[in-house]
């Protein structure tokens, strides 16, 4: 009997619990996948201290004018681009503040770019093209922990003085860990379909990226309680949300909320401070800047309690 080759990468190993999945009916497939997925949040939570380190680093870098870059290939790269693209509408950030870099470029977002993750020189070129420098934060995302493009990207980032981190779902090799100031390794185990890291590893990665950017933005004062007060009202839904938040926090009618937002240039945070302190927009901006953007430090109150 030939010997079985065991890949050292946990994400590439066969899952004994799903080896008969091709015989299952639709409900059976759902049950098998759900059973695997339910462990993912617990695995991510075990990395809570490392994730908190990344949040603290991101806040520090943002406050100093630095930027956050996600770097990855395939699913990992797409998740980084997704998280970065959601920050401007959710938190009112400049698109330059959080950026996603994917091996193979824009084309890799919608179709596989074979060999892109093995192009080592391109990793350096891509980071240099974005002007990655000291004072920035580069987070490499590699489900298997071994993606060459990510390793070289971290090497480049480290060489220019940027802070670095790795997000992986299988233990990265020493040469990759040496390039990371922070290592977030959520070992999600073998996938339902062997090697398909868009599954459990992808889910874990999405949860971790959610925590890093959301946590950093909360620390920057982009929420008031759990209310989204720095959103950009770029569509009807977000404009409606802005009005509802101002109406609720300021205890005013929708029409009054709309008028407040007009005076505040559409910015929810400014509208709240203007109403609470009875000041104009310029003064509200000054007070918020002095308080590091945190509403509670300016108005010394809490948002209405949820009933």
288: which 2 tokens? Answer: 């918020």
Distance CA 137, CA 280 (A): 36
Catalytic residue among 12, 53, 59, 86: 86
Catalytic residue among 36, 117, 191, 285: 117
Please provide residue 167's backbone torsions phi and psi, each rounded to the nearest 5 degrees.
Answer: -115, 120
Query: CB under 8 Å to 286, separation ≥6 — which residues?
Result: none
Distance CA 11, CA 2 (A): 23
Query: Is 117 annotated as catalytic?
Result: yes
Strands (E), the chain: 68-72, 98-102, 137-142, 163-168, 182-185, 223-224, 227-228
Torsion angle (degrees, nearest 10) of CA 48, 50, 53, 54:
-100
Query: Is 39 annotated as catalytic?
Result: no
Q: How many residues does the chain have?
A: 307
Question: Is the sign of the CA dihedral 85, 87, 92, 94 positive or negative?
Answer: negative
Distance CA 284, CA 209 (A): 32
Catalytic residues, which ones? 86, 117
């Amino acid at each position: 009997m030939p010997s079985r080759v065991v890949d050292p990468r946990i994400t590439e190993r066969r899952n004994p619990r799903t080896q008969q999945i091709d015989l299952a009916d639709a409900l059976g497939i759902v049950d098998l996948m759900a059973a695997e997925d339910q462990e993912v949040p617990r695995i991510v939570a075990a990395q809570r201290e490392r994730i908190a380190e990344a949040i603290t680093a991101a806040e520090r870098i943002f406050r100093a004018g630095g930027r956050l870059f996600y770097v990855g290939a395939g699913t990992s790269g797409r998740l980084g681009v997704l998280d970065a693209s959601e920050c401007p509408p959710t938190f009112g950030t400049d698109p330059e503040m959080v950026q996603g870099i994917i091996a193979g470029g824009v084309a890799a977002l919608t179709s596989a770019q074979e060999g892109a993750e093995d192009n080592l020189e391109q990793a350096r070129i891509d980071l240099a093209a974005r002007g990655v420098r000291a004072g920035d934060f580069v987070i490499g995302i590699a489900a298997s922990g071994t993606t060459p493009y990510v390793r070289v990207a971290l090497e480049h980032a480290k060489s220019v003085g940027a802070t670095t981190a790795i997000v992986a779902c299988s233990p990265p090799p020493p040469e990759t860990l040496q390039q990371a100031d922070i290592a977030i390794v959520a070992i999600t185990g073998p996938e339902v379909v062997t090697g398909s890291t868009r599954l459990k590893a992808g889910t874990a990665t999405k949860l971790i990226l959610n925590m890093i950017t959301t946590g950093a933005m909360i620390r920057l004062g982009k929420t008031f309680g759990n209310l989204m007060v720095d959103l950009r009202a770029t569509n009807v839904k977000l404009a409606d949300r802005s009005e509802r938040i101002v109406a609720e926090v300021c205890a005013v009618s929708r029409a009054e909320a709309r008028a407040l937002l007009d005076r505040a240039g559409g910015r929810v945070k400014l509208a709240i401070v203007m109403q609470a302190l009875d000041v104009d927009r310029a003064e509200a901006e000054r007070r918020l800047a002095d308080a590091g953007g945190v509403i509670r430090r300016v108005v010394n109150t809490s948002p209405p309690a949820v009933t």
